[in-house]
């Protein structure tokens, strides 16, 4: 483990005015995105675009080749399929590095039903991870990402406790820590992503309670596995009401709850926090990030690692048509600039 390399990479990923593009959707998830494209030229849905390696690369090239992307994007999280592909005669990793952007890789194998715990998920992918990390490093990856998800639900059948259960939190936290330790062994910066999902009708207070509990356990396990905090990044949810909650709160309330929670449970040594958008609209995610950065007292860089919130508008503008690429790139860069400005706001 080269601690200096880890620190330098982590700091580069949270460089001022920049953030991370999460372009690591699986083929199945890309198909879902394609199925929901709204063709802005005709207002037609279900345009019949199929997720294939070639189509996926065409879509991602549209984003990655956008002129000036490096002004706003410090790193890109890639899917296994993508890191093995090429753009303009270069590997995707080398193409990104030629722009001064760090290539990263999603290394988990997805979330699966947790045995004996209805409604809960466990993330798999530790088998063979050490070898896969070395392969990805040889392909040019500088960092990695692993996602764990936690669902809030108090409405389970009689005799079952609400979720997430302690067992689910502890199991996923242990896996996250093992993944992070293996990454650092390979000199790859681990992005640790414990996501408390927005799905459900829970309120802000419940999200804060679960987020606090989850992060405490995650950092306890990271410490136990001797993960160097200065050489990792945290990719968490914002503290926010569930999508179906009858009480939706303001960006200011989201920001205050989020920053207060993180000050309570996230060690100051962590190099940076790169928030996920988690199903928020592009405007919601951007506004909430701006409000978070307006609050003083945070010891970390408060940045972003957005997927849909950065890509959604560009995807609709593109709609699978080559002639729409300039308009799609324009939409992507406009959103990236807005998000960059949101993380660049100085505290009041």
DSSP-derived letter for residue 323 is G
C-alpha pair distances (Å), 126 with each of 25, 45, 58, 208, 300: 19, 38, 30, 29, 29
Which residue in 218, 63, 221 sits closest to 149, CA to CA? 218
C-alpha count within 13 angstroms, C-beta hemisphere, residue 88: 10
Q: How far apart are CA 73 and CA 105, in angstroms?
A: 15
Q: How far apart are CA 94 and CA 347, in angstroms?
A: 37
**Residue 193 annotated among the catalytic residues of the structure:** yes
Catalytic residue (choose from 81, 235, 313, 338): 235
Structural contact between residues 164 and 120, judged by C-beta atoms closer than 8 angstroms = yes
Q: How far apart are the first and last CA of the chain?
A: 39
DSSP-derived letter for residue 19 is E
| H helix intervals, the chain | 3-13, 27-35, 53-64, 80-83, 92-98, 129-138, 166-185, 204-224, 251-265, 282-293, 308-318, 325-344
**CB atoms closer than 10 angstroms to residue 346:** 7
Q: How far apart are CA 253 and CA 250, in angstroms?
A: 5
- The residues pairing with 149 across neighbouring beta strands, listed in sequence order, are 195
- The residues pairing with 36 across neighbouring beta strands, listed in sequence order, are none
C-alpha pair distances (Å), 298 with each of 8, 73, 215: 20, 22, 16
Catalytic residue (choose from 193, 195, 206, 338): 193
Give me the residue label for tokens 């324009």: 330
DSSP-derived letter for residue 231 is G
Catalytic residues: 193, 235
């Amino acid at each position: 483990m080269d601690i200096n390399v880890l620190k330098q990479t982590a700091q580069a990923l949270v460089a001022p005015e920049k953030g991370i593009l999460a372009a690591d959707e699986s083929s199945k998830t890309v198909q879902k995105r394609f199925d929901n494209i709204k063709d802005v030229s005709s207002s037609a849905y279900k345009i019949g675009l199929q997720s294939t390696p070639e189509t996926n690369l065409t879509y991602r090239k549209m984003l990655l080749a956008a002129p000036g992307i490096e002004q706003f994007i410090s790193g890109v999280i890639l899917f296994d399929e993508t890191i093995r592909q090429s753009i303009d005669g270069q590997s995707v990793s080398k193409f990104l590095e030629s722009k001064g952007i760090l290539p990263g890789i999603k290394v988990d194998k997805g979330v699966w039903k947790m045995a004996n715990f209805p409604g809960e998920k466990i993330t798999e992918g530790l088998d063979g991870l050490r070898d896969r990390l070395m392969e990805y490093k040889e392909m040019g990856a500088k960092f990695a990402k692993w996602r764990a998800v936690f669902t809030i639900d108090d409405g389970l059948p009689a005799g079952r406790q609400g979720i997430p259960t302690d067992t689910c939190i502890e199991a996923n936290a242990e896996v996250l820590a093992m993944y992070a330790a293996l990454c650092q062994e390979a000199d790859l910066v681990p992005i640790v992503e414990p996501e408390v999902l927005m799905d459900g009708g829970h309120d802000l207070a419940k999200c804060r309670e679960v987020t606090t509990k989850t992060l405490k356990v995650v950092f306890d396990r990271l410490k136990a596995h001797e993960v160097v905090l200065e050489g990792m990044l945290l990719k968490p949810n914002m503290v926010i009401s569930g999508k179906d909650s009858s009480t939706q709160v303001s960006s200011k309330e989201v920001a205050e709850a989020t920053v207060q929670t993180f000050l309570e449970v996230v060690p100051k040594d962590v190099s940076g926090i790169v928030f996920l958008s988690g199903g928020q609209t592009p405007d919601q995610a951007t506004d909430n990030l701006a409000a978070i950065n307006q609050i003083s007292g945070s010891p970390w860089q408060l940045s972003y690692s957005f997927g849909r919130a950065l890509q959604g508008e560009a995807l609709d503008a593109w709609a699978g048509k080559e002639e729409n690429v300039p308009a799609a790139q324009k939409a992507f860069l406009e959103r990236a600039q807005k998000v960059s400005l949101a993380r660049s706001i100085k505290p009041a």
